[in-house]
Amino acid sequence: MAKNPTEPSSATVYAQELPGCREVGLSRGEIEHFKTNGFIVKKGLLDSSELGRIVECAWEAAEDLGFPFDRNDPSTYTLPKDHGLFPDTEPKHIYNDGAGIANYFGGSNSGWTWRHYVPCTEDWLLERTARHPNMQSVVSQFLGDNVRPSKRCRGLYLLLPKPGDGDSVGKLSGHTDGTASQLNCMIYAADCPPSGGGFTLWPGSHRRCYYHMKTEYNWEPKVGYKEMLSEIQASVTPVEISGEAGDCCFWHPRSLHSAGVNTSSHLRVVVPCDFQKDKPTEPWPPYSGFSKRTALGAGKSLLPEDSGKEDGLRMQWWIDTREFVEPDSPPREDMWEDWAI
C-alpha cells in the first residue's frame, strides 16, 4: 500500500445521480462515468433492512468491548483524544492461520478507526453483501461471468466522529491499495451524511495509477509512484461519497482514495468488498508493499508464520483477492480490453 502525507479535508460531496443508478443494470452513462472517473454509485442496490443485522453486529461488539456508546445518544459516539478505551490487540498483520484478529483500532487525522473483522467470512454476512445477487449482477456486468467466488469481505469499517475540539484539523490520507483486485465496492451498511466519513477518492486517478505499474494487476509500482500520488493530490479535487444504507460505491482498485473525515453525529459503517476474475492466483493473501516477485528479489520470507516479523512481509489476511500467478501482463494500451464494459 502506498501512502502519502495527509492533506486538509477539502473534498466535494458527490451528489450526482446518473441515469440507471437505482437499477441493477449498468447504463451507458454509468459505464462512461466509471471509465473516466473510476467510480459509480448504485443507489439502494441492497435492501437496507437486510443490512440491519450487520449494523447490529457492530453495536453488540461495542457492548462486549465495553465502549460507552448509547445508540440513542449520538454525543456518546465521539471519543476524546486520550480516551484509552480501545483494548490492546495483536498487530493487524499477524496471520493467525488466516483468522487474523477480531478487531483493529487506530487513530488518524480523519478520526478514530475501528475495524470489526469477526463476521467477515460468515455466510449470513456475505449473502447480504459480496454474494448478494444484485452485487454479483453488477460485478459480472463489469468483469464478465468468470468471477472468483467471494470467500470473505474486509469486515466492518467503522469511523467514529472526530471531536470538534479545535485540537487538530480533519485531514484525508490519500493512498492506493497493494492488491490484485480488479473491482472494489464500498457498501454503506448505515446512512452516511455529508461530512460523515464517506469513502473519498480522486476522480481519474485510476488511469494514471494503472499506467504507472510494471504489471497490469499485481502490485509493482514504477519508480516515482509516490511522487505521482502527491501530484494528483495537489491538482485534483477529491470527492466524498455520502449515501444511505444500501447504497454501493463501485470503484477501480487503482484509484487514489481515503476514508473521509467524520464530523457528523453518525457512526460510519461500510463493508468493503474485493472482486477479481477467476484465474490462477497465489495461495496466500497479498503482501503489504510487495508482490511475490519483488519479495523474492529482496530475499523476504513468504511464510505466513513470518508475517509481521522484523524486516519481514506483512500479510494482508483480510483481503479476499489474491495476486495473479506470474507472469502478469504489463498495462494494456486499452485498460478496459479484458473487461465486459
Give the end-to-end CA distance of the chain in Å, rounded to a whole number.
27
> Is 230 contained in some domain?
yes
- pLDDT tens, residue by residue, 98-129: 999 999 998 866 679 999 999 999 999 999 99
| pLDDT exceeds cutoff 80 at 16 | yes
**What CATH number does the domain containing 90 carry?**
2.60.120.620
| pLDDT exceeds cutoff 50 at 74 | yes
pTM of the model: 0.95
| pLDDT exceeds cutoff 60 at 270 | yes
**Proportion of the chain above pLDDT 90, given as a percent:** 85
Confidence class for position 81, pLDDT limits 50, 70, 90: confident
> Is 297 contained in some domain?
yes
At 162 the pLDDT is: 85
At 169 the pLDDT is: 57
Count the domains in the chain: 1
> Is 316 contained in some domain?
no
> Is 311 contained in some domain?
no
Stretch 9-27: mean pLDDT, rounded? 92
| pLDDT exceeds cutoff 50 at 6 | no
Secondary structure of the chain in HEC code, one letter for each residue: CEECCCEECCCEEECCCCCCCCCCCCCHHHHHHHHHHCEEEECCCCCHHHHHHHHHHHHHHHHHCCCCCECCEHHHHCCCCCCCCCCCCCCCCCCHHHCCCCEEEEEECCEEEEEECCCCCCHHHHHHCCCCHHHHHHHHHHHCCCECCCCCCCCEEEECCCCCCCCCCCEECCEECCCCCCEEEEEECCCECCCECCCEECCCHHHHHHHCECCCCCCCECCCHHHHHHHHHHHCCCEEECECCCCEEEECCCCCEECCCECCCCCEEEEEEEECECCCECCCCCECCECHHHHHHCCCCCCHHHCCCCCCCCECCCCCCCCECCCCCCCCCCCCCCCCC
Domain of residue 212 covers 2-306
At 111 the pLDDT is: 76
> Is 337 contained in some domain?
no
- pLDDT tens, residue by residue, 182-231: 999 999 999 999 999 999 999 999 999 999 999 999 999 999 999 999 99
> Is 279 contained in some domain?
yes
Stretch 87-107: mean pLDDT, rounded? 92
Q: CA-to-CA distance for 276 and 290, rounded, in angstroms?
A: 19
- pLDDT tens, residue by residue, 50-69: 999 999 999 999 999 999 99
